[in-house]
Amino acid sequence: MKRQSQFSLPKSLALKQSVEEENLVRNEQLVLLSKGSSGYKWEVSEVRLSRKGQKVDLEKILAKLSDKEREFISILIEKDPLTGVYNRRKFDNDIELLISMSDRTTKGCALLIIDIDNFKDFNDKFGHFEGDQLLRSVTQNIEQSLRNYDKIHIYRYGGEEFVVIIPDTSANDALTIGERLRKNVKKACEVTISIGISHYKELAGNINELITNADKALYEAKRAGKDRVLLYEKTP
């Protein structure tokens, strides 16, 4: 199902021609132009497509555009159009870089996986429009609860699930941050959240362990009654 992006389109014949020639494709979304009563618009589709079954050379397309247009395309590629935070594709790229950077520090980095409790029930009761509004509201409250530096490491992981990477922190400090997020969202929004936390260096030795362990902690938080924050515990 197609969904219109929140970003406006720079009016440019060069950009229009590039998209029409190449069928611009990104990892999870197809970006295309459609002509309506108000002119050409960007729309975002969840369908993964490519030109004549071939992968599209994104650099070739970007090379034809102005700086402003390249910035616009980059936003579409990296940002979630509903909430404005980074998307899963950006997370997959950033986590490798942040893990590499953490190898140079003594503290390492923490990963928080955040899930909105009973979101399906909220959607069923109030409708998808209100559900979208809730996703934006929760995102804003998470951002407001983070340090400025950490705000650039929040991602929509999928559906009602978000991920926050906190560089240069300990597991216990991450737990404190997680509790602050939970309390602030509960106070400001109409729902609660559950959070699972893992830590690279203290609780995990690689990316796969870091994500898996945070997911396990989230599962336990849900199983224990929701509206709580749990730090992954290593088993002997």
pLDDT of residue 159: 92
pLDDT per residue over 29-41, tens digit each?
334 333 344 433 4
How many Å apart are CA 217 and CA 84, to the nearest integer? 26
Q: Is the pLDDT of residue 13 over 60?
A: no
DSSP 231: E
Express each pLDDT in 216-236 by its tens digit. 999 999 999 999 999 999 876
The domain limits of the chain are: 2-78, 88-231
- In CATH, the architecture of 88-231 is 2-Layer Sandwich (3.30)
Running DSSP on this structure, what letter comes out for residue 10? P
Residues 6+ away with beta carbon under 8 Å from 226: 117, 118, 192, 194
For residues 86, 89, 91, 93, the Cα torsion angle rounded to the nearest 10 degrees is -130
Crossing angle of the two packed helices 128-144 and 171-188, in degrees rounded to 10: 130
Active site residue 78: no
What is the reported pLDDT for 110?
95
Question: How high does pLDDT run on average in the chain?
Answer: 79
Kindly name the residue from 22, 160, 202, 220 that is annotated as catalytic.
160
Taking the C-alpha atoms of residue 180 and residue 193, their distance in angstroms, rounded to an integer, is 11
pLDDT tens for 128-150 read 999 999 999 999 999 999 988 78
CA distance 89 to 13: 28
**How much is the pTM?**
0.73
